[in-house]
Amino acid sequence: MMGLNIDVIRENLPLFLEGLGVTMLISVVAIPAAIMLGAIVALCRLSSLKILRTGALCYLEILRNVPFMIQVFLIYYLLPFYGFRFPAYVVGIIGLSIYASSYFSEIIRAAILSLPTGQLESARSMGMSKLQAMIHIVLPQLPPYIVPPFINQSSTLIKDTAILSTITVQELTMATQRVQQESYDFVEPLVFAAALYLAINTIMIFTMSKIKQAKST
């Protein structure tokens, strides 16, 4: 086995960093977007209107049972079909946010359901509207239940950005492939990319766990 050739990585470092930047940018936009969309879907699932409940359930089942790559390619072709021309990375952010919202919404729903129902009922009997009860009673209690699974899901989302390379988003995996094609070195760029992904995920999980500790003390 040949030794690892570090020069390829040193020469192409700007390309890797650019890709890393795009990966981070996509994640930073898509994670909050997916959480907000997920919150809306979770509220629909808990709504008393049957149409909203069924609609939300269909949305979830479709997103969770169809491969993410097929969803991304569908959106990639569908948007221009209806006259929306966006750069690939915007398509990627849209696809990723929609896909991940299905997972975030289940986390939020489970957290809301885990609160004692008596709380909501007493808030309602005090004359709060359902929305007020959600905002003033339920929402402040959610963080301890949702933060750990959110960290996990966000780390999954960051890993899923790699799939966006298949619709020509210039993120880390795509940058790696460019380096491979230019240098004819196939293994080293991939090892370096894997290390970068590992670093992002580790840093994120570490900082989030620090936040969690700070909050619980």
**Angle in degrees, CA 157, 25, 4, rounded to 5:** 80
Cα separation, 182 vs 1, whole angstroms: 22
Residue span 22-61 as binding mask against other proteins, x where in contact by CB under 8 A, dash where not: ---------------------------------------x
Among 3, 14, 51, 81, binds other proteins (CB under 8 A): 81
105 part of the interface to other proteins, by CB under 8 A: no
In this complex, which beta carbon is closest to other proteins, that of residue 29 or of residue 162? Answer: 162
Among 17, 28, 135, 187, binds other proteins (CB under 8 A): 187
Residue 5, CB-side half-sphere exposure with 13 Å CA sphere: 13
- SS3 labels along 141-206: HCHHHHHHHHHHHHHHHHHHHHHHHHHCCCCHHHHHHHHHHHHCCCHHHHHHHHHHHHHHHHHHHH
Among 53, 124, 159, 212, binds other proteins (CB under 8 A): 159
190 part of the interface to other proteins, by CB under 8 A: yes
Angle between helix 50-65 and 13-45 (nearest 10)? 150
Among 191, 209, 210, 215, binds other proteins (CB under 8 A): 191
68 part of the interface to other proteins, by CB under 8 A: yes
| Least spacing, CB of residue 121 vs other proteins, in Å | 28
Among 19, 160, 167, 179, binds other proteins (CB under 8 A): 160
